[in-house]
């Protein structure tokens, strides 16, 4: 399925986004739950570009990030991936935020350029890379990112009752998935802006009404998180989801798992909510909030990041956002900060 379109999307990924050059080595990591059609199409595209693909397939860890350390061949992974020029991760239970990952990316001057494509399938690749005007998306998303990074105070609400306020941490860099992966860069799937606010300034409620991964995927009922000075202090909601998630968090016996690690804006033009976190957190007009481990790329002022037992991401749909009083989103629709930005959103289908 999609064998022709998938080849095009993977070629576009490596040629347009990674600028993969002849002779460069590309690590492609996956586990036994990964979609091998995507893995193989990426390896073929790399070979067609004159690069040297190295596919590293591992048994699927019991969990993601550091919670999967016990099952990962850490030192062999570090040695193999760190020796490559570029790295695409397709693992379903991700290496991202694991001990192996931390070692691979520790030195910004000596690490492969990386994109997180965990758990993707052919349809997702074709829809979100093959059929997107990446140059226009890059221009749009960088304009939004620059405006937000230059601001100070955020107010974020949603129709399901979310009301969160936070401030930028001065000097802390944003991580913007603009679709281009340059030397030494760590990038997520295109269509997302992420940042770690000043943690003490994060207060209010986060209402997850899309998905939360791990461990639940799609939620049956919204989960409300009470946030005080950057930490989750209460988890509530009707049905079983809130209780199940609270018990999962508690099982790690780690205070840092309750830290609000980052916020993100979703701006994937074709992204659909389907239970795959890579696509879910790019649904247009959503915000996504990470809990737990904070990667070093998110806290440029804290070498090594802030470790925690694992990391989880929750999706809040149809958000409204104000930056220093200027509204940029109204229930998921781009309304600012400038007419030019609004027009670019329209050209991208929104």
pLDDT class of 90 with cuts at 50, 70, 90: very high
Residue 300 has pLDDT above 90, yes or no: no
| CATH architecture label of 3-129 | 3-Layer(aba) Sandwich (3.40)
The per-residue pLDDT for 7 is: 94
Strand duo 86-89 + 113-116: pairing: parallel
Question: How much is the pTM?
Answer: 0.81
Closest to 124 (Cα-Cα) out of 55, 34, 203, 200? 34
Provide DSSP, 4-33: HHHHHHHHHIIIIIS---TT-EEEEEEETT
Give residue 134's pLDDT band: very low, low, confident or very high (50, 70, 90): confident
Residue 315: count of CB within 10 angstroms of its CB? 25
What percentage of the chain reaches a pLDDT higher than 70? 100
Identify which of 259, 336, 322, 255 has the alpha carbon closest to the alpha carbon of residue 287: 322
- The pLDDT of residue 75 is 97
Instruction: Write the burial class of residue 150 (CB in 10 Å: 0-12 exposed, 13-18 middle, 19+ buried).
Output: exposed
Contacts of 247 (CB under 8 A, 6+ apart): none
| Pairing label, strands 163-167, 186-188 | unpaired
Confidence of residue 190 (pLDDT cuts 50, 70, 90): confident
Per-residue confidence band for 264, with pLDDT thresholds at 50, 70 and 90: very high
Residue 108 has pLDDT above 90, yes or no: no
Domain ranges of the chain: 3-129, 134-179+187-347
CA distance 342 to 337: 8
pLDDT-derived band at 180, boundaries 50, 70, 90: confident
Report percent pLDDT > 90 for the chain.
84
Q: Where does the pLDDT of residue 254 fall: very low under 50, low under 70, confident under 90, or very high at 90 and above?
A: very high
Residue-wise pLDDT for 49-80, tens only, equals 999 999 999 999 998 888 899 999 999 999 99
Instruction: Give 166's strand partners.
Output: 154
Nearest CA to 165 out of 198, 193, 208, 212 is that of 198
- Banded pLDDT at 188 (limits 50, 70, 90): confident
Check whether 96 has a pLDDT greater than 80.
yes
Q: What is the mean pLDDT of residues 281-301?
A: 92
What does the pLDDT look like over 115-125, one tens digit per residue?
999 989 999 99
């Amino acid at each position: 399925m999609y064998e022709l379109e998938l080849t095009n999307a993977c070629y576009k990924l490596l040629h347009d986004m990674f600028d993969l050059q002849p002779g460069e080595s590309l690590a492609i990591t996956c586990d036994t739950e990964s979609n091998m059609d995507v893995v193989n199409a990426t390896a073929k595209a790399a070979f067609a570009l004159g690069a040297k693909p190295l596919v590293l397939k591992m048994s699927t860890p019991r969990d993601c990030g550091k919670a999967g350390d016990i099952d990962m061949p850490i030192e062999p992974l570090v040695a193999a991936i760190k020796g490559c020029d570029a790295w695409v991760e397709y693992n379903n239970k991700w290496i991202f935020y694991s001990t192996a990952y931390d070692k691979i990316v520790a030195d910004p001057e000596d690490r492969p350029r990386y994109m997180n494509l965990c758990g993707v399938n052919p349809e997702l690749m074709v829809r979100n890379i093959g059929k997107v005007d990446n140059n226009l998306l890059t221009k749009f998303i960088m304009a939004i990112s620059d405006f937000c990074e230059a601001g100070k105070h955020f107010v974020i609400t949603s129709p399901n009752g979310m009301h969160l306020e936070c401030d930028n941490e001065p000097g802390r860099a944003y991580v913007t998935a603009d679709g281009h992966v340059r030397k030494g860069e760590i990038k997520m799937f295109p269509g997302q802006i992420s940042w770690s606010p000043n943690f003490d300034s994060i207060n209010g409620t986060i209402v997850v009404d899309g998905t939360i991964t791990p461990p639940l995927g799609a939620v049956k009922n919204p989960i409300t998180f009470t946030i005080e000075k950057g930490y989750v202090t209460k988890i509530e909601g009707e049905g079983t989801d809130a209780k199940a998630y609270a018990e999962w968090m508690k099982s790690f016996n780690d205070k840092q798992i309750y830290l609000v690690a980052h916020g993100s804006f979703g701006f994937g033009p074709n992204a659909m909510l389907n239970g795959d976190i890579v696509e879910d957190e790019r649904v247009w007009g959503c915000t996504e909030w990470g809990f737990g481990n904070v990667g070093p790329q998110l806290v440029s002022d804290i070498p090594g990041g802030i470790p925690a037992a694992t990391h989880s991401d929750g999706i809040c749909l149809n958000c409204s956002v104000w930056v220093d009083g200027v509204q940029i989103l109204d229930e998921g629709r781009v309304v600012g900060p400038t007419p030019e930005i609004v027009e670019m959103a329209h050209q991208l289908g929104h």
